[in-house]
């Protein structure tokens, strides 16, 4: 005769310590829990509201510069370090964790326009309107961690003279080359005082340059003649040129999809392109109400941060048409440079009011070490919000952002102007011969032509 008994290991339900919680066993049969969906919806609603309550993105400001912060660079070798350059020629290395200056790099006689660090983090390259490129030795991490390093200053390792002012600089991801942008694109080596190569296409100044993270010999530039140009160092001439209707201020490659880059434009939008197919943008990212000045991708490649002349910092999904987050303060003025931290947890912005500001990449994220139960609770709330994000009330709460009145009014005016232009195009098309007017999508409308 067989006897069926319920057997259960004592380890499954016995507490190890008296402070531990009792294990509760759930039967997930939907017939037994008819109100489960309603309960989950209410939990998702509460999770969305709690996110708003705990949204405190601003961590602190780092002051020390006496003029506008014009450029920044991450230190690939040190998570807590970031370089900043200002319009008065001052370059500083900051310890983000303690929000203090670690080292200063004096020497530039004019505005510092470009900063970049080598891949190993040992060399800093700066350029500016005083027609010089300077190479600096970066202090090692032990000096940065010491408390008495605030008065540290460094002398340039090398100074290279140019004929014209420099507007941007970027270092090769793997290699000893770096590129400067000015009247032309110059390729430099650490050990040579003259450019090893120069490129020029057109007569206007080049204002930004970025090396490709996947292909070290490929770089993209934007110029003041509204063009975006791709260069390949293995050939002697530029590869492709794209001319848009408005100027591109900055460009950033997607580190996880190195064939794609996003351009920050003067027309308040950002445009994502595939470098292999430049005749059409992959995505148009809207929401800013003034020129977008700088852009930087997260190391995960899933989102990017932008800084704008409208005094706001926005975070976009890499394939999202609208921003998921907007940061602003009463004191923050026009934002000239933004960077994601190397661990994708923080955003650093530099603005016209001489300050660097540190923000959380996720506004309601809890800082510090989380207990396992806290971590599971956060993950559960995220899953609930993701499941019910399409329902009107949850969507409304998650999407809502408070905007300063000038930005809100400028956004309303901008939408009115876009709608008026759309209606005008519709009427023009309705009163013209069939087929004579072709409506172009937004992804193509801002492109004038592509030149090979």
pLDDT at 6: 75
| Each residue's pLDDT expressed in tens, for the chain with a length of 452 residues | 788 887 777 777 778 788 887 777 778 888 888 888 999 999 999 999 999 999 999 999 999 999 999 999 998 888 899 999 999 999 999 999 999 999 999 888 989 999 999 988 889 999 999 999 999 998 876 556 656 555 567 788 889 988 889 999 999 988 889 999 999 999 999 888 889 988 888 778 899 999 999 999 999 999 999 999 999 988 877 888 999 999 999 999 999 999 999 999 999 999 999 999 999 999 999 999 999 999 999 999 999 999 999 999 999 999 999 999 999 999 999 999 999 999 999 999 999 999 999 999 999 998 889 998 899 999 999 999 999 999 999 999 999 999 999 999 999 999 999 999 999 999 999 999 998 988 888 899 988 888 87
pLDDT at 141: 65
This prediction has a pTM of 0.89
Among 141, 83, 118, 121, residue whose Cα is nearest residue 348: 83
Alpha carbons within 13 A on the beta-carbon side of 228: 30
- Per domain, the residue ranges of the chain are 34-54+367-399, 57-366, 401-430
Q: Between β-strands 69-74 and 335-340, what pairing exists: parallel, antiparallel or unpaired?
A: unpaired
CB atoms within 10 A of CB 337: 24
Element spanning 311, H or E: none
The CATH code of the domain at 57-366 is 2.130.10.10
Which three-class secondary structure state does DSSP give residue 391? coil
pLDDT at 143: 58
| Distance in angstroms (rounded) separating the CA atoms of residues 179 and 186 | 6
From start to end of 76-205, where are the E strands? 81-86, 91-95, 100-104, 112-117, 123-128, 132-137, 152-153, 158-161, 168-171, 177-181, 185-189, 197-199
Distances in Å between the Cα of 430 and the Cα atoms of 7, 417, 427 are 78, 20, 5
pLDDT at 36: 86
Where residue 279 falls (left for φ over 0; alpha for ψ -120 to 50; beta otherwise) is: alpha
Identify whether the C-beta of residue 251 lies closer than 8 Å to the C-beta of residue 295: yes
pLDDT at 248: 95
pLDDT at 324: 93
Identify whether the C-beta of residue 343 lies closer than 8 Å to the C-beta of residue 71: no
| Distance in angstroms (rounded) separating the CA atoms of residues 92 and 95 | 10
pLDDT at 150: 53
CA angle 163, 166, 171 (to 5 degrees): 120
């Amino acid at each position: 005769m067989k006897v069926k008994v319920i057997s259960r290991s004592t380890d499954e339900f016995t507490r190890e310590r008296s402070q531990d919680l009792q294990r509760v066993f759930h039967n997930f049969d939907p017939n037994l829990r008819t109100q489960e969906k309603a309960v989950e919806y209410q939990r998702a609603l509460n999770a969305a509201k709690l996110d708003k309550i705990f949204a405190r993105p601003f961590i602190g400001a780092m002051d020390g510069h006496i003029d506008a912060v014009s450029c920044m660079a991450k230190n690939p070798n040190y998570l807590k370090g970031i370089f900043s350059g200002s319009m008065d020629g001052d370059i500083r290395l900051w310890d983000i964790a303690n929000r203090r200056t670690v080292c200063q790099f004096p020497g530039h006689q004019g505005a510092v326009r470009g900063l970049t660090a080598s891949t190993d983090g040992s060399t800093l390259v700066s350029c500016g309107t005083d027609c010089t490129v300077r190479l600096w030795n970066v202090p090692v991490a032990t000096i940065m961690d010491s408390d008495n390093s605030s008065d540290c200053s460094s002398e340039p390792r090398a100074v290279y003279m140019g004929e014209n002012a420099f507007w941007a600089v970027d270092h090769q991801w793997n290699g000893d080359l770096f590129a400067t942008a000015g009247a032309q694109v110059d390729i430099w080596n650490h050990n040579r005082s003259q450019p090893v190569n120069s490129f020029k296409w057109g007569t206007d100044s080049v204002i930004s340059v970025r090396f490709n993270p996947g292909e070290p010999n490929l770089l993209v530039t934007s110029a003041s003649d509204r063009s975006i140009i791709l260069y390949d160092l293995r050939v002697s001439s530029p590869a492709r040129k794209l001319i848009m209707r408005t100027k591109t201020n900055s460009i950033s490659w997607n580190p996880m999809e190195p064939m794609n880059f996003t351009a920050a434009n003067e027309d308040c939008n950002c445009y994502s392109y595939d470098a292999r197919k430049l005749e059409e943008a992959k995505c148009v990212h809207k929401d800013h109400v003034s020129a977008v000045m700088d852009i930087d991708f997260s190391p995960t490649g899933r989102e990017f941060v932008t800084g704008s002349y409208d005094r706001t910092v926005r975070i976009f999904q890499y394939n999202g048409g609208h921003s998921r987050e907007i940061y602003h303060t009463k004191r923050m003025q026009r934002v000239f440079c933004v960077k994601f931290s190397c661990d994708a947890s923080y955003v650093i912005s530099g603005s016209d009011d001489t300050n660097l500001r540190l923000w959380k990449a996720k506004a309601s994220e809890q800082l510090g070490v989380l207990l396992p139960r806290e971590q599971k609770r956060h993950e559960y709330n995220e899953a609930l919000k993701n499941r019910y994000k399409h329902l009107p009330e949850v969507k409304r709460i998650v999407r809502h952002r408070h905007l300063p009145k000038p930005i809100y009014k400028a956004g309303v005016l901008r939408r009115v102007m876009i709608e008026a232009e759309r209606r005008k195009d519709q009427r023009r098309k309705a009163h013209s011969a069939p087929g004579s007017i072709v409506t172009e999508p937004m992804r193509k409308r801002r492109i004038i032509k592509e030149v090979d």
